Amino acid sequence: MALMTPEQFEASLKELKPRVFMNGKLVPDVLTNRNTRTVVEANKASYAWALDPKYRDIMTCFSPLVDEVVNRYTYVSGTTEDLVRKAEAGTFTAEMLGTCIYRCVGYDAFHALAATTWEMDRDLGTEYWSRFQEFLKNVQKKDLSVAGAMTEPRGSRSKKIENWPDPYLALKVVEKNDKGIVVRGAKINISGAYASHELMVLPQGAHSESEADYAVAFATPTDAPGITYVCQYSPYSAERDQADDLEELGNPVFGQRETAMVIFDNVFVPWERVFHCGEFKYSGRIVARFARTHRMTCGGTCKVGFMNQIIGASKLIQEYKGLEKVAHINEQITEMVVLRETGRACGQAAARQGKEEPPGSGVFLPDELMGNVAKLNICEAFWRVMALAGDIGGGLTVTMPSLKELKNPEIKDFVEEFYSFGSDEPTANILKVHKLLQHWTAGQHGVGTWHGAGPPATQRIAIQRTVDFEHEKGLVKRTLNL
């Protein structure tokens, strides 16, 4: 079986030496830094679940490509059933981690590249598909974690790339030789790459002929010479850095959501790892296929899992406060469940209505309309669920003291008494559940959910392109005998 154990995964990361900066300092080891460690733990869990008989069905599948059982996060969907399983895995991993599974963007990038390399080979006689298959075989056989990088810093959005004063605000091919290409530029907001083995790089937008040097997709080891990571750093990162005990934090093991800017300072990529280079007409298709897949994931699968964490915390607080029979609280929790299930339904519909794209490629992608509807729907639904949870949690969600006070002999007894709600639950547990809710409602997840897989305007544009309204207009004409 091509499955690594969690211990082998951790050992394999020790072999890598990514250049990582956080909070103004070099991170000498992503395995021991408290914030980067959360990414290691999240990816590591995906290896443990794949070997656990309880979760094997959801986390693994048979890959005809290597004739073995592989981790689902290394697999390209070949049927609608695969897409349904993919959606279920998105919810499962999110609700178990309470944060991202950092293999997700790479998984979705595989779908976009498998489809578009096949199409480029068919139309242009290139060899990208066979290269990509070889790369994917290696990923599956070695059970590698692969992150995905699309988003770029970009210059003025009202100007074309050629009119930007700095041509490297989008990732650019600066050299081509008989061995490979050299790229310069950066990708921003990239989830969990420094604790992955490989980074799958895609173009960010559609390109014109004058932008052919930006039409590039490739895979690179995450510690290739010239790659540097500049990590996000927030009050939550500082809190984790300074905590006496990680149990004080809202998500002790898996943390918030970790991203980094990835700088490519003249990074060499050998041809066998290049899957798109200069065929500018196909950049937009890679982006659209990635978006369609990733919007199902972000909209209709992982946020369903996140909502389960928020609903669970709200329910516990309702019980601690003795509010079980209060009508408006029960209505709020019912509303959360309805929003969660609407999200799940959109994700399921996107998967179940998925199709082979392009026909003949063997690659199944979620339904374009439903993938976009899933993401657009969840943007609003997630804020609403957070607002409802904030109401149930009360002010304590943001005014709670540090759990350290429970270890402070001078104040401990008062904190235990006055934050107990007079319930039998230990005050430490009550505060921990509020901390979890703080982590969701006052953390990075609102904006993260809004922008991850693209801001809502991009889904509206995709929906406007997908629906031509001929069916609807025809119905009216038929009804009126026009």
Ligand X SMILES: Cc1cc2nc3c(=O)[nH]c(=O)nc-3n(C[C@H](O)[C@H](O)[C@H](O)COP(=O)(O)OP(=O)(O)OC[C@H]3O[C@@H](n4cnc5c(N)ncnc54)[C@H](O)[C@@H]3O)c2cc1C
Query: How far apart (Å, rounded) are the C-alpha atoms in residues 338 and 18?
Result: 43
Nearer to ligand X, 39 or 316 (CB): 39
Which residues are CB-neighbours of 426 under 8 A, at least 6 positions away? none
Query: Can you say how many angstroms the Cα of residue 210 is from the centroid of all Cα atoms in its chain?
Result: 32
Nearer to ligand X, 148 or 252 (CB): 148
Compose the 151-170 pattern: x for residues touching ligand X by CB under 6 A, - for all others. Answer: x-----x-------------
CB-count exposure of residue 176 (10 Å: 0-12, 13-18, 19+):
middle
Binding to ligand X, residues 127-146 (CB under 6 A) = none
Query: How far apart (Å, rounded) are the C-alpha atoms in residues 430 and 445?
Result: 22
Question: CB of residue 458 vs ligand X: minimum separation in angstroms?
Answer: 7
Range in contact with ligand X (rule: CB under 6 A) among 85-93, 421-429, 445-453, 469-477: 445-453
Binding to ligand X by residue 189, rule CB under 6 A?
A: yes
Question: CB of residue 389 vs ligand X: minimum separation in angstroms?
Answer: 19
Query: How far apart (Å, rounded) are the C-alpha atoms in residues 286 and 299?
Result: 19
Binding to ligand X by residue 116, rule CB under 6 A?
A: no
Question: CB of residue 246 vs ligand X: minimum separation in angstroms?
Answer: 21
* DSSP state letter for 14: H
Binding to ligand X, residues 216-275 (CB under 6 A) = 257, 259
Out of 40, 59, 76, 149, which residue is the one contacting ligand X (CB under 6 A)?
Answer: 149
Out of 455, 461, 474, 475, which residue is the one contacting ligand X (CB under 6 A)?
Answer: 455
Nearer to ligand X, 124 or 461 (CB): 461
Question: CB of residue 107 vs ligand X: minimum separation in angstroms?
Answer: 11
DSSP structure string for 241-293: HH-SSGGGSSSTTT-S--EEEEEEEEEEEEGGGEEEES-GGGHHHHHHHHHHH
Binding to ligand X by residue 148, rule CB under 6 A?
A: yes
Range in contact with ligand X (rule: CB under 6 A) among 25-33, 82-90, 336-344, 446-454: 446-454
Question: CB of residue 150 vs ligand X: minimum separation in angstroms?
Answer: 3
Nearer to ligand X, 198 or 248 (CB): 198
Query: How far apart (Å, rounded) are the C-alpha atoms in residues 455 and 475?
Result: 33
Query: How far apart (Å, rounded) are the C-alpha atoms in residues 97 and 306?
Result: 9
* Pairing mode, strands 172-176 and 180-191: antiparallel
310, containing H or E segment? helix 303-320
Nearer to ligand X, 148 or 390 (CB): 148
Nearer to ligand X, 40 or 105 (CB): 105
Nearer to ligand X, 55 or 306 (CB): 306
Question: CB of residue 190 vs ligand X: minimum separation in angstroms?
Answer: 5
Binding to ligand X by residue 171, rule CB under 6 A?
A: no
Compose the 42-81 pattern: x for residues touching ligand X by CB under 6 A, - for all others. Answer: ----------------------------------------
Out of 6, 255, 371, 448, which residue is the one contacting ligand X (CB under 6 A)?
Answer: 448
Binding to ligand X by residue 4, rule CB under 6 A?
A: no
Nearer to ligand X, 315 or 451 (CB): 451
Query: How far apart (Å, rounded) are the C-alpha atoms in residues 88 and 300?
Result: 10
Of the candidates 111, 108, 102, the residue with the CA atom closest to the CA atom of residue 30: 102
Question: CB of residue 362 vs ligand X: minimum separation in angstroms?
Answer: 25
Binding to ligand X by residue 286, rule CB under 6 A?
A: no
Q: How many residues bind ligand X (CB under 6 A)?
A: 18
Q: Which residue has the tokens 């598909």?
A: 129
Q: What is residue 455's three-state secondary structure?
A: coil
Question: CB of residue 222 vs ligand X: minimum separation in angstroms?
Answer: 13
Of the candidates 114, 103, 111, the residue with the CA atom closest to the CA atom of residue 146: 103
DSSP structure string for 36-56: HHHHHHHHHHHHHHHHSTTTH
Query: How far apart (Å, rounded) are the C-alpha atoms in residues 45 and 142?
Result: 17
Range in contact with ligand X (rule: CB under 6 A) among 13-21, 65-73, 188-196, 391-399: 188-196
> Helix, strand, coil shares of the chain as percentages rounded to 5?
55, 15, 30
Binding to ligand X by residue 451, rule CB under 6 A?
A: yes
Question: Longest Cα pair distance anywhere in the chain, in angstroms?
Answer: 83
Nearer to ligand X, 154 or 407 (CB): 154
Out of 306, 376, 454, 459, which residue is the one contacting ligand X (CB under 6 A)?
Answer: 454
Out of 67, 359, 410, 457, which residue is the one contacting ligand X (CB under 6 A)?
Answer: 457
Nearer to ligand X, 291 or 389 (CB): 291
Phi and psi for 324 in degrees, rounded to 5? -60, -30
Range in contact with ligand X (rule: CB under 6 A) among 22-30, 263-271, 273-281, 453-461: 453-461
Numbers of helices and strands, H then E, in the chain:
17, 14
Let me know the angle formed at the C-alpha of 337 by 336 and 339, rounded to the nearest 5 degrees.
65
Binding to ligand X, residues 384-443 (CB under 6 A) = none
Which residues are CB-neighbours of 325 under 8 A, at least 6 positions away? none
Binding to ligand X, residues 17-36 (CB under 6 A) = none
Binding site for ligand X (CB under 6 A): 105, 148-151, 157, 189-191, 257, 259, 448, 451-455, 457
